[in-house]
Amino acid sequence: MLLTGNLLQTSVLFSEMTYLGAPLSDRSSEQALISDILGGNTAGFESLIGTYQGRVFATARKYARKESEVEDIVQEIFIKAFRKLDTYRMDAPFEHWLMKIAIRTCYDYLRKHQRSRIASFTDIQNEDFDLLEVCGEDTNDARHQREAAKALVHNLLDALKPAFRLVLTLQEIEGKSVKEIAQLTGWSTALVKVRAFRARKEMRKLLEKINPDAY
Amino acid sequence: MTKPMKNRDDMFERLIRAARRIPEDPSSPYAFEKRIMAHIQSMRPVDEGTFWALGLWKATVPCLALMLCTTFWASLNGNADMVTSEELLASELQWTMTQPLQSLEETW
């Protein structure tokens, strides 16, 4: 009984230490580093970039295709983070705070680069849709098909309005909850729900255009 | 009637499934953090002395231009005014010098 109690206490302590995404020691050393940067040692920011750039690059690649555009977005994210570092309150992991900036910067990018995407969307044929089945397969034979499938997914998502694309990516593809999306985007939960509903509706409507003869 | 809806929903599900299967790519260009740091260093605020020196240096040309314009304008319009002011000064001096004599004459 005593052993069970100790185990329970240990597991509770461990979950408290890790519930915010990073071990407590890591978080406290990170907070010390941030305090140091705010104190004037700007060189310390390089270490933060090194830690989180992979995560930020992966996020930016979901919204931009050209590598030069991805690099511009990531650069903007880190510069914004540096400028606003004094607003980070240290009561949540730095990664959460940084990802809010990342998502909002990606959204700004989508809004700025909103092109007439419907034209390219209507070029997609029903047969092209079969490519989606090879998406994510890890064989050398399917490598070029995999790239084509990835481009197709981007093409389809590009056809959506920026807000719809963002909410669809976060909810359907990344599997985030409405509350999490609201925190990341700064929208109300009601607005997230409305936009998610409209995004799905819009995407289904656009998919009808791929091959109207099929109906 | 239900076929188009089913097809459309199926396409949507296939799209989402495919998008989920795309692996995340966290790779970054070589020394990317150095590039950002160089950018950050270049935008760091300068100290007060340098700030004023840079501001004043930038203001040199407009100030010189303004000075030249003002001088030119003064040389064009200022001659008539200068004569008038000299005359005014002379008359005032004369009045000041002769005023005691005039008051003497009035006393006599």
CATH code for position A46:
1.10.1740.10
Q: What would the two tokens of residue B83 be?
A: 């004569």
pLDDT value of position A1: 43
A162 domain residue, yes or no: yes
B25 domain residue, yes or no: no
Tell me which residue range forms the domain holding B77.
Answer: 60-108
The count of other CB atoms within 10 Å of the CB of residue B28 is 18
What's the pLDDT tens digit per position in A38-65?
A: 988 888 999 999 999 999 999 999 999 8
What is the average pLDDT score of chain B?
80
Residue A91: pLDDT over 90: no
User: Contact at 8 Å (CB) between A124 and A210?
Assistant: yes
Residue A83: pLDDT over 60: yes
Partner residue facing A153 (CB), from B11, B22, B28: B22
The residue among B5, B10, B25, B41 with the most chain A CBs within 10 A of its CB, best to mutate, is: B25
**CA-based nearest residue in chain B for residue A171:** B16
Would an 8 Å CB–CB cutoff place B1 in contact with chain A? no
User: Contact at 8 Å (CB) between B18 and A142?
Assistant: no
> Does the distance separating the beta carbons of B8 and A46 come in below 8 Å?
no
User: Once rounded to an integer, what is the mean pLDDT over residues A116-144?
Assistant: 61
User: Contact at 8 Å (CB) between B21 and A135?
Assistant: yes
- Range B70-86 burial, b when 16+ CB lie within 10 A, else e: eeeeeeeeeeeeeeeee
The count of other CB atoms within 10 Å of the CB of residue B25 is 14
Backbone angles phi, psi at A101, to 5 degrees: -60, -40
Measured between alpha carbons, how far is residue A146 from residues A136, A142, A169 in Å? 7, 6, 19
> Distance from first CA to last CA of chain B, Å, rounded?
130
SS3 of chain A: helix, strand, coil, percent, to 5:
75, 0, 25
Tell me, yes or no, whether A105 and A124 share the same domain: no
* Max Cα-Cα span within chain B: 130
| Total tally of structural domains belonging to chain B | 1
B15 domain residue, yes or no: no
ipTM above 0.85, yes or no: no
What is the average pLDDT score of chain A?
80
Whole-number percent of chain B with pLDDT over 70: 79
Nearest to A169 by CA among A189, A195, A137, A147: A195
The pTM score is: 0.67
Q: How confident is the model at residue A215 (pLDDT cuts 50, 70, 90)?
A: very low
Q: What would the two tokens of residue B63 be?
A: 């100030």
**CA-based nearest residue in chain A for residue B41:** A42
For residue A96, give the amino acid letter: H
What's the pLDDT tens digit per position in B38-80?
A: 998 887 666 777 778 888 898 999 999 999 998 888 887 766 5
Residue A141: pLDDT over 80: no
What's the pLDDT tens digit per position in A175-205?
A: 999 999 999 999 999 999 999 999 999 988 8
pLDDT value of position A123: 63
Tell me, yes or no, whether A103 and A122 share the same domain: no
Tell me, yes or no, whether A86 and A129 share the same domain: no
**CA-based nearest residue in chain B for residue A62:** B24
B37 domain residue, yes or no: no
What are the chain B neighbours of A132 within 8 Å (beta carbons)? 14-15, 17-18
The count of other CB atoms within 10 Å of the CB of residue A160 is 21
Integer Cα distance of B107 and B79 in angstroms = 42
| Total tally of structural domains belonging to chain A | 2
Partner residue facing A172 (CB), from B16, B43, B44: B16
CA distance B67 to chain A (A): 41
Partner residue facing A150 (CB), from B22, B32, B35: B22
pLDDT value of position B46: 63
Residue A157: pLDDT over 80: yes
What are the chain A neighbours of B3 within 8 Å (beta carbons)? 215
CA distance B47 to chain A (A): 13
What's the pLDDT tens digit per position in A1-34?
A: 444 444 444 443 434 333 344 544 577 888 889 9
Tell me which residue range forms the domain holding A146.
Answer: 116-215
Q: What is the DSSP string of A27-70?
A: HHHHHHHHHHHHTT-GGGHHHHHHHHHHHHHHHHTTT--SHHHH
Q: What is the DSSP string of B4-56?
A: HHHHHHHHHHHHHHHHHHSPP-----TTHHHHHHHHHHHTSPPPHHHHHHHHH
